[in-house]
A and B are shown apart, each in its own frame.
Chain A
Amino acid sequence: MDLFFELAELSISGALVGLMYTLIALGIVLVFKASGVANLAQGAMAMVGAYLTWACLTLAGAPLWVAIPLGVFAMFFVGRGIERVALRRMIGQPAIMVIMLTLGLEIMLRGLLPALFGPVKKRLDIGIDAAPIIIGPMLIDRAYLVSGAVALILIVLAVLYFNTRQGVMLRAVSDDQPASWSVGISVERAIGISWGLAGIAAAAGGVLWGSIQGVDWTLSLLLIKALAVAILGGLDSILGVLVAGLILGVLENVAPVYLERFGVSGTRDVVASLVILATVIFKPYGLFGREEIERV
């Protein structure tokens, strides 16, 4: 019985962290769906969001309920700005140029923000009680629970958004750009919005994770996890990233504990990379990747 509860406890906290990964991966999926571009700056955007929130909170002394929305929504405009200034010039350029550009942004931001705010790890206290919740014999970290719940709410909001009129137009752009132009949809604007939403998703994830592990450049390493989730989920499916996020979160939490008993240690960070490799080799379109519709 102990073994069962131990496994359940690990799985639950893993799944909660997985939801947060899903939230960040959502930004990669959104941009890919709208414009077919791999957004490798997503990790850095999460970091920037967390730094901005920390700055509002600590440097400007704003209360929590102002600082968090401000930091998160500022990232909407940062995302749009990145698209407007950098990505739009890349239209018609080979895919490798765009990938290098977003990766370059990621690396630049990783250096720039710690340089601006100082390299010491910042404490981002968003007022979550440190005492765990006790369910029977299991302990669940309150911070994980809150972050999982917030992530889930935002994911549900994203799904609902895709069924609004604007969301339908965004999906139309991801389907067929010339046809979108031909019926009056501004494709450039739709892609800009997708980057803005990616910024929001990244910032929310960054704040949640930053409150748990502190804010410094290592937050941008979330890129690897988000990328693993997006690739496993299939790059263009919201349901896919949700399932993939849960899988990665649970695997990452459960596998190291048991492997350690066999004398294998330090596997936690390897899980995400293994997931990327395995997906690309065995199921290149991911679990829920979109099939091209072909009528026969």
Chain B
Amino acid sequence: MLKLENIEVVYDHVFLAIKGISLEVAEGGAVALLGSNGAGKSTTLKAISGLLAPERGEVTRGEVLFKGRDFKRLSAPERVRLGIVHVLEGRHVFGHLTPLENLIAATSMHRSRAKIDGLVEKVLTYFPRLKQRINAKAGYLSGGEQQMLAIGRALMTEPKLLMLDEPSLGLAPLLVEEIFEIIARVNRETRMSVLLVEQNATAALSIVEHAYLIENGRIVMSGSADTMRSNPDVQEFYLGGAGRVDYRNVKHYRRRKRWLA
């Protein structure tokens, strides 16, 4: 459904952040982008959602296809109408609005009131925690509640592709588990595709079918979740080591990532 073909992203006309990334998300599929800080994961998502423009970034090469159509020229709100929604890193809820107003703010594409009420109802069944604090100011919700609100708000647009940037950021492990379960459930029940950017590779690989590993603005590895999980390099560098390795005894050159050699 979504296909990136060899895209390049340049910030400020100078800085080349993405150096040719190709990836694909199937309809109803779940895909993860893994990689360390500054690898270009968030930039890739912004290139898809159209949020590069306010940061003076630009896709300078390659094709961004949604259902076979290149939508590079569309603005971010127009892309949301196509069915591509982006949950920003760091949650970005509307802090001075209530959770209910946060959800309503994301309904500019819907006309009928009944539909909006139905969507609110649906989102609140996914995130029952939000119901209890529906009239508080969103800025005072806990980190986990804000993340749920940010995801729920994105679901209000009835996306065909949900992109999540680091939903586990700064959350307790139990909460991460809860949120990932909900994401997996929505993905299963509504056949909505999911593109997930994560540092927490263990959590991410538990709900996706396919994953790409990005480093320095390039894809260095890709494969099914199982293949990635069992890859020794991924284990060592992204899954917290494969069992008991005494790092003092491992020679420096052995610990280098194989694809950098």
A: which residues have CB within 8 A of B? 92, 165, 168-169, 171-172, 175-186, 290, 293, 295
Cβ–Cβ < 8 Å partners of B139 in chain A = 293, 295
Taking the closest CB of chain B, its distance from the CB of A295, in whole angstroms, is 7
The 10 tightest CB contacts between A and B, nearest first, are: A293-B139, A184-B80, A183-B106, A172-B105, A179-B92, A175-B94, A181-B76, A293-B95, A186-B77, A172-B94
Given contacts A182-B76, A183-B105, A293-B140, contact A168 B85 (CB under 8 A): no
Chain B residue at minimal CB-CB distance from A182? B86
Chain B residue at minimal CB-CB distance from A183? B106
Cβ–Cβ < 8 Å partners of A184 in chain B = 76-77, 80-81, 85, 106, 108-109, 157
Q: For the complex, what is the distance from the CA of A280 to the CA of B143, rounded to whole Å?
A: 35
Cβ–Cβ < 8 Å partners of B108 in chain A = 169, 183-186
Cβ–Cβ < 8 Å partners of B49 in chain A = 182
Taking the closest CB of chain A, its distance from the CB of B147, in whole angstroms, is 13
Query: Which residue of B49, B92, B97, B105 has the most chain A CB atoms within 10 A of its CB atom?
Result: B105
Interface pair B105/A169, CB less than 8 Å apart: yes
Q: For the complex, what is the distance from the CA of A293 to the CA of B136, rounded to whole Å?
A: 13
11 A-B pairs besides A168-B104, A171-B105 with CB distance below 8 A are: A165-B104, A175-B94, A175-B96, A179-B88, A181-B50, A181-B54, A182-B92, A183-B154, A184-B80, A184-B85, A186-B77
The interface size bin for chain B is 35 or more
Interface pair B140/A180, CB less than 8 Å apart: no
Taking the closest CB of chain A, its distance from the CB of B39, in whole angstroms, is 21
Q: 13 interchain pairs (CB within 8 A)? A: A165-B107, A168-B97, A171-B101, A176-B95, A179-B92, A182-B51, A182-B88, A182-B92, A183-B108, A184-B80, A184-B108, A186-B108, A293-B137
Chain A residue at minimal CB-CB distance from B106? A183
Which single member of A92, A165, A176, A181 contacts B94 (CB below 8 Å)?
A: A176
Taking the closest CB of chain B, its distance from the CB of A36, in whole angstroms, is 14
Interface pair A290/B92, CB less than 8 Å apart: no
Chain B residue at minimal CB-CB distance from A294? B139
Number of A-B contacts (CB under 8 A): 88
Q: For the complex, what is the distance from the CA of A177 to the CA of B50, rounded to whole Å?
A: 13
Which single member of B56, B77, B88, B96 contacts A171 (CB below 8 Å)?
A: B96
Q: For the complex, what is the distance from the CA of A154 to the CA of B156, rounded to whole Å?
A: 32
Q: For the complex, what is the distance from the CA of A175 to the CA of B93, rounded to whole Å?
A: 9
Interface pair A177/B80, CB less than 8 Å apart: no
Interface pair B153/A183, CB less than 8 Å apart: yes
Cβ–Cβ < 8 Å partners of B104 in chain A = 165, 168
Query: Which residue of A177, A178, A179, A183 has the most chain B CB atoms within 10 A of its CB atom?
Result: A183
Chain B residue at minimal CB-CB distance from A171? B97
Taking the closest CB of chain A, its distance from the CB of B46, in whole angstroms, is 9
Taking the closest CB of chain A, its distance from the CB of B118, in whole angstroms, is 15
Interface pair A179/B81, CB less than 8 Å apart: no
Which single member of A165, A169, A172, A178 contacts B51 (CB below 8 Å)?
A: A178
Interface pair B101/A168, CB less than 8 Å apart: yes
Taking the closest CB of chain B, its distance from the CB of A170, in whole angstroms, is 9
Q: For the complex, what is the distance from the CA of A171 to the CA of B139, rounded to whole Å?
A: 14
Given contacts A171-B97, A175-B95, contact A182 B85 (CB under 8 A): yes
Chain A residue at minimal CB-CB distance from B81? A184
- B54-89 contacts to A, CB under 8 A, are 54, 56, 75-77, 80-81, 85-88
Interface pair B96/A293, CB less than 8 Å apart: yes
Cβ–Cβ < 8 Å partners of B75 in chain A = 186
Taking the closest CB of chain B, its distance from the CB of A33, in whole angstroms, is 10
Query: Which residue of B76, B86, B102, B142 has the most chain A CB atoms within 10 A of its CB atom?
Result: B76
Given contacts A168-B105, A169-B108, A293-B140, contact A183 B85 (CB under 8 A): yes
Cβ–Cβ < 8 Å partners of A177 in chain B = 54
Cβ–Cβ < 8 Å partners of A172 in chain B = 94, 97, 101-102, 105
Cβ–Cβ < 8 Å partners of B116 in chain A = 165
Q: For the complex, what is the distance from the CA of A178 to the CA of B107, rounded to whole Å?
A: 16
Taking the closest CB of chain A, its distance from the CB of B56, in whole angstroms, is 8
